Chain A
């Protein structure tokens, strides 16, 4: 069987498995709580694998190795925080979010913010921020999904977008986040196995890490500086954003609300960190291998860094492994898209109407319709906006971080924080991110020394949150809380 045939067969098997899981999950989705929060019934393994699958999009397979190949070891600063982010999220958010869901009907993060701050404005503004970021981020991921489907079936990117969108929309609209969690587990295992096998292949091809480093050092020693070809401050800016910023990624932390038993959080960081570390092996390994192979003259320099993974797989990996990874890319993107669809649909059908004092009668039906509308809008964006879609992806991640981190990470743990601070910090994050990203996109102004925009906007919104809380709250803020909410915040 040729490599091409094998890739198509594995892709079809993967698509069929996903469809079956979606159909089974749809039968289990009967209420809004099922649709948005998986009936609050998932266990530890599902939580660990689904957070890993949702947090790693196709970037882990394609863009990440390409980034390592092009900027060197500095790209590691994007994935290095994975060592601590799961424990950080569990300490800072896992317990509070899950306990809030124990005392009141909390299905979404804006639900939690409204309960915490007793503020429809905080709920509404958070929902708007989520929706704006979701559409941007989804556009980028749907485009990547189209590329992945095209690589597998050679149908062209536009057809790939349509086919991929149809598949993910089918199981997302029918089975909601239940389908998402089940497919995440399938996709997470698929991705982790593929990553480990690719890393083993990298070590075999490159003569171990020593062989890879020696080859690279002979041609480009700066590539293996701790910051690679970035500036030290720019590299560290990535670490800042991807460590603390994770606490504002709704498609990931929303999953804490789905956990059946809060005591299961105990081993969540260990399992989720192990899964993430396995995934990082491919991210770093392929980038280093391609740089070494180019340095040795085995392959010509890549015109497009994103070709690093396909070039390595088709040239040096066993055919079955290449087929597994190509489907793994599609799996990674689909799991991320599904998670975004879930939080976006919840923002439209639950959070915004409730913030406006007009909750919908049938949130399950509204959620399914919103899922379809958002998915189609993302596909249209991906088909029509060209390179703008890449900008939207970066913009979306930074917007999540700068708008949601202060109100969630600090607000859920400090009873002295106030609703005014939550609204002010969300507005600061939203306004500043839009202003700086747009200025950068149109080459009007960029931050010096390669600093990421999200680093500055995140710091600004945290500062505003703490400052406004100190000015407007203090001890009075804690005493005005609902006693049950205060108990959870101070437990």
Chain B
């Protein structure tokens, strides 16, 4: 991972923590369980996950290929949850249904749930060989492991 990616990830982590703290503080004001704090926490959570993905997935190949994952987490998950909140509660039996559910619930399930459930694992597989675990990196790790076992035969884990 490059130092730039690490700084971006840690910066995102700090921003997400600040935003989450702000959302929790919102709970202290009257009617603080309302929409503003929830929308802020939606984006804070999405940003926190995205920062962790960059921190964990940005291997020697750079974290550029993870842009799609970051976009999916922040825009689709964060935006989908926030959008569901902003669509509000259904008002009665005449509420129009999207895919069998009121609009807010539908956006939550199909937008912030099903789309990332398909997209994010596929992005992980797509970027795996290039950024997450390159074959040369695995070979080097295994070489180091064998070297350690050769130098310390008594410290193996096969006891």
Residues in chain B near residue A237, CB distance under 8 A? 41
Asked if A174 is an interface residue, CB under 8 A from chain B, the answer is no
Q: A491 contacts B53, CB within 8 Å?
A: no
How far is the CB of A213 from the nearest CB of chain B, in Å? 6
A448–B57 Cα distance when bound, in Å, is: 36
Q: Does B125 lie within 8 Å of A269, measured CB to CB?
A: yes
* B44 and chain A: residue at smallest CB distance: A240
Bound: A284/B17 CA distance, A? 30
Decide: B34 and A84 in contact? CB cutoff 8 A. no
B residues contacting the other copy or chain, number (CB 8 A): 84
CA distance A186 to B120 in the complex (A): 27
1/0 per residue, CB under 8 A from B, across A459-491: the answer is 100110010000000000000000010011011
Which residues of B come within 8 Å of A, CB atoms? Answer: 1, 6, 10, 13-14, 17, 20-21, 23-24, 26-28, 32-35, 37-38, 41-42, 44-45, 48-49, 52-53, 55-57, 59-60, 69, 73, 77, 81, 84-85, 87-93, 95, 97, 99-102, 104-105, 107-109, 112-114, 116-117, 120-125, 128-129, 132-133, 137-138, 140-142, 144-145, 148, 155-159
Q: Are A491 and B137 in contact (CB under 8 A)?
A: yes
- List residues of chain A with CB under 8 Å of any chain B CB: 31-33, 37, 73, 76, 80, 82-84, 86-88, 90-93, 95-96, 99, 102-107, 208-210, 212-214, 217-218, 221-222, 224-227, 231-237, 239-240, 243-244, 247, 262-263, 265-267, 269-270, 273, 277, 363, 409-410, 412-414, 447-451, 455-456, 459, 462-463, 466, 484, 487-488, 490-491
Contact partners of A96 in chain B: CB under 8 A: 56
Complex CA gap A212/B99 in Å reads 12
Cα(A102)–Cα(B37), bound, Å: 44
Q: Given the complex, which residues of A lie within 8 Å of B125, measured CB to CB? A: 266-267, 269-270
Query: Which B residues lie within 8 Å of A222 (CB)?
Result: 89
Is the Cβ of A73 less than 8 Å from the Cβ of B105? yes
Q: Can you spell out 9 A-B residue pairs with CB atoms less than 8 angstroms apart?
A: A76-B109, A83-B116, A106-B157, A225-B90, A226-B87, A240-B41, A244-B45, A449-B26, A456-B24
The main secondary structure of chain A at its interface with chain B is helix
Report which of B57, B121, B144, B155 forms a contact with A273, defined as CB distance below 8 A. B121
Contacts of A209 in B (CB 8 A): 97, 99-101
